[in-house]
Every structure is written in C-alpha cells, then in structure tokens.
Structure 1
Amino acid sequence: MQQHESLKEHYKFTKEEALLLQGLQPKMSALADSFIDEFYDYIWGFGATAKFLKNQKIIDYHRIKIKAWFINLFCGKYDLPYFTYLYKIGEVHVRIGLPTHYVNSAFTFVRTFVIKNIEKNSTDELERLKEIEAVEKIIDINLDTLTSSYREEELSKFLSLSKFEKTILGGLKKFNSYINFFLAGSLALVAFFAIGLFVYDIYLLFFSDIGIEKGILTVLGSLLVLWAAIELIHEEINHLQGKGFAIGAFIMLAMAALIRKVLIYSLSSEKGNDLLVIGAVIVALAFSYWLVNAKNKAAITAGRTDIA
C-alpha cells in the first residue's frame, strides 16, 4: 500500500479540503439511503452482479457496508487507519474476483451522485466549486487505494509464488518489521544515554580540573554522538514509513564519527600519523557525499524536465 501521506500529497489534498468534506457529512448522511437505492439500481445493470451478490443475506450485508463507506467518505480524518480500511476493501474485491472495470464504473456513479447533490443544494458558487474539487480528490484517492490491491495481485501472479513461498515471504516480512521496531527502540535508548553523556561532559567541563580545551573538545565529541543517534532515529523512522535508503545520511554519520576521533586525537602529539589518515578518509567521504547529492539533484531535475 502506498504511503497515505505521500498519496495525499500527490493529489494535493489539503487539510482545508478534509474539513470541507467533513462539513458535507451531515448532508450526505441524510442522502445515504437514496444513494444506496440508486447505487444498487446502477450496479445491477452490470449483468454479472448476481455472481457476487448471490443471496439476500449477502446483499443486506453489502448494503450496510457500502452505506458505511459512503458516509465515511466524508469523515474528514484521512489517516492510516482510513487507508488501511480502504485497502482491505480492495483485498476483498481481489479475493472474490471482482473485475476492476466494475469498481471504476461504480466510482463514476458515486462521483456523479455526490456532485449532482452538491450542485443542487449549494447556493454559494465559490464554496460549491471548492466542495466539488475536494470530492473529486477524495474519490480519486479512494479509487487509487482500492485498485492498488489489484496491482499487487498482478505482481504476485507475475512472480508466480507458490503458497509455501508466500508463507515464507510473509514470515520474513513480519520478522523484518519486528527487527525494525527493535532497532528503533534501541536507537531511542542510545539517544537517551547520549544525552546523559553530553550532560556529564558539561558537568566535567565546569566542575572538574579536566581543562578548558580538553573539556570543550570532549563536549563536542559527545554532541556528535548525540547528533548521530538522532540522525539514525530519523532515518529509521523514514525506513519504517517506506522511504528509500538514504546513503547520504550514513556517509554523514561516518564523517561525524571520524571528526570525533580527530577532536580526541588532536589532544595528543603522538597521533599525528593517525590524524593524517583520518583526514584523508574524511576528505574521501566528503567527496562521496557530494557525488550522492549531485546524483540526487540531477534525478530531481530530470524528473521536473520530464513533467514539463
């Protein structure tokens, strides 16, 4: 499933539009029964609807679920649970073998029904246009999320995974999730101790005979450790959210660790050769970081050019 926040960004769906939809919910809730009746008249025209709605019990259950989905379309809170709910609906469609064009056609009806009633009941021209734009976006987002299940199913068929392989893959994904959460917790613990180390070094700087020069360098070293821990937590959060591997951040962390070494070794006259080696490595890492950034900027520029 696509990340819900990035999906909303791609559709330029704003918080103001979410509030507009929430404001429409009372009106649409009042129209829910009419919507269901007209919706069923519409989908029975598909011809093969009876194949999926085989008896009255299934029909009654389906009507309840469709009505709940329609009202929830205007809930105003489009967070991860909402998108998970949509994705599960899509999985059901895939499991029962519902053709995608049925879903697309049904959404055409939903769009027409909602916009028709907005135009019928709205008196403010500007407000009506804003409401219609918000409705268009949330319907497209819903359709995008629902049909993502079909795309993943097609990929699964392409890979031709056996049931055993799927079980193994599912287990590995769960194990990977547990490891990632364990890493996130461990990094938080490291950050906590890094804060303690930083505070302790500050204390030594002011209340011991460690010396100003050594004390300041020690504090800077602790600060680098804390910064590194925070950066790792940030990258782990991005990873948990499904974002890519940020190699640049890890190059920066390596540079920070080496700079801390330089700060420590600079206090000793016997570490001259080590400082030269570390300095050369830092320069190499800095060049690598520049190359990574240059590549990323070039990719962004190329993407903008393609869009234009």
Structure 2
Amino acid sequence: MEKMSWNVKEEHIVDDLVALLSITAEECQLLRSLQGEAEAITARMVDEYYDRLLAHEMTREFITDLAALKRTLAQWFVKLFCGNYDKNYALDRLRIGMAHVRIGLPVRYPLAMFDVLDRYGVEVAEKKGPEAVIAFRKVLALDVATFTQAYDNTQLNHLKDLVGGSETLARRLLTDKY
C-alpha cells in the first residue's frame, strides 16, 4: 500500500516537483534575466500584500514585526526569479512554511495571498513574453507546493507520533483506505 511519493522527503521534494512541472534550464535562465525587474516592483507588491492582510482582522493578529515581514516577503518574491531551484531553494521554502506553521497561521491565508504574487510575477514575466509567464507560473507552483509541504509534514509527524511512530499507518489514516 505504500506509495513511492511517500518516500520523497525534505529538500528532495524539489527534484520531484521540478520534474513534474518540467522546469527547463532555459526557463531558469529566462527567469534569472528578470530578477532586476522583480526587484523594481517589489515595494509596490509588498505594500499591496500587507495592506490586504492588515485590513483583515483574522490575519492582522498574526502580524507582529511588519518591517521584518515586509523585508522577508520582498526577498522571497525576488528569489522567485533566481533561476536556481535546487535543494537549498527547497529547504528555504520549507523553512518559510514552517515559520507559518509555528505561529499557527491557517494555511488558507498564505494560499489566498498567492494571487498578489501571481499578478506581480506575471507583470514582471510579461516583459520577456509568454514563455516567461509560463516559466514564472511553474516556479510559483513549485513554491506553493513546497510551502504547503511544511503543513503536510507537520500534520503527518503529529499523527505519526500518535500512532506509535509508524509513518505508513499515519499516511494510511490520512487517506480513506485505512
């Protein structure tokens, strides 16, 4: 009953996802060439992003050090255009996801905010044409998948502890075939 995908862990998920998304070396180079363009619009994106979060009572309660959060978001956005989506990239994205898990932020909030990142990323990518937009959306999908993996890992680890350490049993309990 064990699935091959269950054995893909931590930074190795990026290899799995890059293959699934068919991110090519040419797309990586194309995105890297846009990093300066991404830096140029980051302040505008960050302001819109946090204006929305601050306007919503339930997300506002998670915002503590706004200046630090804005810096982190700006760095994260620009790194979407780094062109190097390797194990270190995955570990960084998992770390960011775990920071959200640790503060108890429901996953629906960061996922709901990806529309802002998508819109600004597409604005940058359009400068190099439709191929760049496709490449950006692949990398954004990579980030969404890697980020949410942190939530999945936490859920699985807690359930694994509850069932005596068996990851297979924990995974089976999360499906409808236990």
**Smaller-chain TM-score range?**
0.7 to 0.9
Higher relative contact order (CA 8 A, sep 6+): 2
Sequence identity, in percent?
A: 28
Equivalent in 79, 90, 107 of residue 83 of structure 1: 90
SS in 1 for 2:129: helix
Match of 1:17 among 17, 27, 36: 27
Paired residue type of 1:96: I
Give the 4+ runs in structure 1 shifted more than 4 A: none
Deviation at 1:161, TM superposition (A): 4.2
Tell me whether 1:26 sits opposite 2:36 in the alignment: yes
Q: How high is the TM-score relative to the length of structure 1? A: 0.47
Q: Normalising by the residue count of structure 2, what TM-score does the alignment of the two structures yield?
A: 0.80
Asked if the contact 1:4–1:83 (Cα under 8 Å) also holds between the matched residues in 2, the reply is yes
State the superposition RMSD in angstroms.
2.0
Where does the alignment leave 5 or more consecutive residues of structure 2 unmatched? 1-9, 167-178
Using the TM superposition, give the Cα deviation of residue 25 of structure 1 relative to its aligned residue in structure 2, in angstroms: 0.5
| Change beyond 3 A, Cα 1:27–1:116 | closer
Aligned length: 156
Please, which runs of 5 or more residues in structure 1 have no aligned partner? 170-308
- CA distance, structure 1, for counterparts of residue 151 and residue 130 of structure 2: 32
Kept in 2, the 8 Å contact 1:42–1:109? The answer is: no
Larger Rg: 1
Give me the whole-angstrom Cα distance separating, in 1, the residues matched to 2:120 and 2:57: 21
- Is the Cα contact below 8 Å between 2:97 and 2:150 reproduced in 1? yes
**1:38 and 2:48 equivalent?**
yes
Q: Is 1:65 equivalent to 2:72 in the alignment?
A: yes
Determine the C-alpha separation between the residues in 2 that align with 1:6 and 1:156: 21
- For 1:85 and 1:117, the matched residues in 2 are separated by 22
More helix per residue: 1
Which residue of the other structure, out of 44, 47, 61, is the alignment partner of 1:51?
A: 61
CA distance in 2: counterparts of 1:33 and 1:139, whole angstroms:
19
Q: Distance in 1 between matches of 2:135 and 2:52?
A: 24
- 8 Å contact from structure 1 (residues 46, 102) kept in 2: no
